[in-house]
Amino acid sequence: MSINNISYDPYEARLDDFAASVMKQKTVDFGYPLNQKSKLVGFYKWIAGSGINLSTLDNAGDPFDIHEKVPNTLEYEREVIEYFGPLYGFNEDEVWGIVTFSGTDGNNHGLYFGSKYLEKKTKKKPVLYVSDSAHYSSRRLADLQNLDMVLIPSDVHGSMDPAEFEKALKPDRPALVVYAMGTTFKGGIDDQDALNAVLSRHPEIEVYRHIDAALFGGYIPHTKYSDILNRKLHPFDSIAISGHKYFGMDEPAGIFLTTKEILNNQNPFDVSYLNRNMPMINCSRSALSPLKLWWIIRHTSREEFEKQTEEMLENAAWLCEELNKTGCQAWLEHASNTVYFKRPPEEITEKYDLAPDHDDRLGGDLSHIVVMQHVTRERLSRFLEDLRKCMN
Ligand SMILES: Cc1ncc(COP(=O)(O)O)c(C=O)c1O
């Protein structure tokens, strides 16, 4: 069919309905750490006119050692990594990294690089230590990578308990430790100073620290808490951050950062058909994700990131206070944008897509709101009104 010489795609009507429902839902999308304020409108205009959407691009290869001939955006990927490196205390000449498919993919690289590094250095398999409040991806990946894992109990704030960590440490094996910097449900932050103090009492143990900062890693560098993720002040070997959480990528993506020293002490995988060593886990990798992230950081000033973050954290503190005033007990951890509270009636959890959790120490069932950029004061006020109506 053709209308004014424009061909009409019969499938578009269905897609239009789908798009309308997505647009409606995003205004009440409070329960998951996705930034629904995409900055990619200009990117899509550019790409449609550029012609590169008519070819296949693939970032198979190392963005810091570009040999590839297939069309790729490795050059932009490298710029993304070089932009982020200094925000977490990496020196420009030491940082290495990739744009990943997700936070989980970044954690996969962290655990893999960490275990291979420790094995090479000590000739022993490490033990993975991770808290029971950390995201499940570390546990799943331990299973996948056949790592021995010890799950360390966390305290009521969602942070790894240092005394439990010390009890669990195996003195004759290297330690691969995941520090969760912003746990998924409570937004708890592992206390690096306390955990590092434990490790320093066991100098015989070789240590690799990987930080899972899927959400908080995006915004913490733009706050007064930036020291928390500065590896010059709190040493770590690698860090994984999601791109679709704080940064508002419109599909899953992330970044994985480590050092060239770690990179150079991996299992070498010489891949003759690509003419070189391939350090990353995946062969083909997205070329569009790095370009989108590059677009976002080039079109967002540091001041803008600071302003967005300040608003998120102020709104989170305000929400926590208002919930408590309303008689709904609520908590907010240090440097967190994630307010957790006694689980409200189902009509509220359904409408606002609030994820469930349970902690007997806090009286049972819980929900949380992740105060992202689109979760404005106005929308939170409407949520509080709905909640008050239900509670009366
Ligand atoms: C703390 C934490 N780590 C890792 C992940 C997994 O990240 P992704 O969904 O990007 O794979 C999440 C997801 O919510 C998370 O909250």
Walk along the chain (392 residues) and give the pLDDT tens digit of each residue. 445 566 668 899 999 999 999 999 888 899 999 999 988 999 999 999 999 888 899 999 999 998 878 899 999 999 999 999 999 999 999 999 999 999 999 999 999 999 999 999 999 999 999 999 999 999 999 999 999 999 999 999 999 999 999 999 999 999 999 999 999 999 999 999 999 999 999 999 999 999 999 999 999 999 999 999 999 999 999 999 999 999 999 999 999 999 999 999 998 777 777 767 788 999 999 999 999 999 999 999 999 999 999 999 999 999 999 999 999 999 999 999 999 999 999 999 999 999 999 999 999 999 999 999 999 999 999 999 999 998 87
Q: What separation in Å is there between the alpha carbon of 164 and the centre of ligand 1?
A: 24
Q: What separation in Å is there between the alpha carbon of 192 and the centre of ligand 1?
A: 20
Q: What separation in Å is there between the alpha carbon of 181 and the centre of ligand 1?
A: 11
Query: Reduced to 3 states, what is the DSSP secondary structure of residue 36?
Result: coil
pLDDT at 1: 45
- Domains of the chain, start order: 22-39+303-391 (3.90.1150.10), 53-298 (3.40.640.10)
Is the beta carbon of 254 within 6 A of some atom in ligand 1? yes
Which amino acid would we find at residue 52? I
Does the predicted model carry a pTM greater than 0.75? Answer: yes
Q: Which helix (H) or strand (E) holds 95?
A: strand 95-100
Query: Reduced to 3 states, what is the DSSP secondary structure of residue 163?
Result: helix
Is the beta carbon of 323 within 6 A of some atom in ligand 1? no
* Ligand 1 nearest atom to the CA of residue 212, by list position: 3
Confirm if 165 and 155 have CB atoms less than 8 A apart. no
- Read off the tokens for 61: 């290869």
Round to whole Å and give the CA distance between 200 and 384: 46
What is the phi-psi region of residue 260: left when phi exceeds 0, alpha when psi lies from -120 to 50, beta otherwise? Answer: alpha
Burial 281-308 (b: 16+ CB within 10 A, else e): beeebbbbbbbbbbbbbeeeeeeebeeb
The residue to mutate among 108, 137, 289, 372, having the most atoms of ligand 1 within 8 angstroms of its beta carbon, is: 137
Q: What are phi and psi of 298, to 5 degrees?
A: -75, -20
Cβ atoms within 10 A of the Cβ of 262, count? 19
Distances (CA, A) of 108 to 145, 157, 230: 9, 26, 22
* Ligand 1 nearest atom to the CA of residue 184, by list position: 16
- Read off the tokens for 107: 């954690």
- Read off the tokens for 132: 């029971």
Q: What separation in Å is there between the alpha carbon of 384 and the centre of ligand 1?
A: 27
Which residues does residue 33 pair with via DSSP β-bridges, in sequence order? none
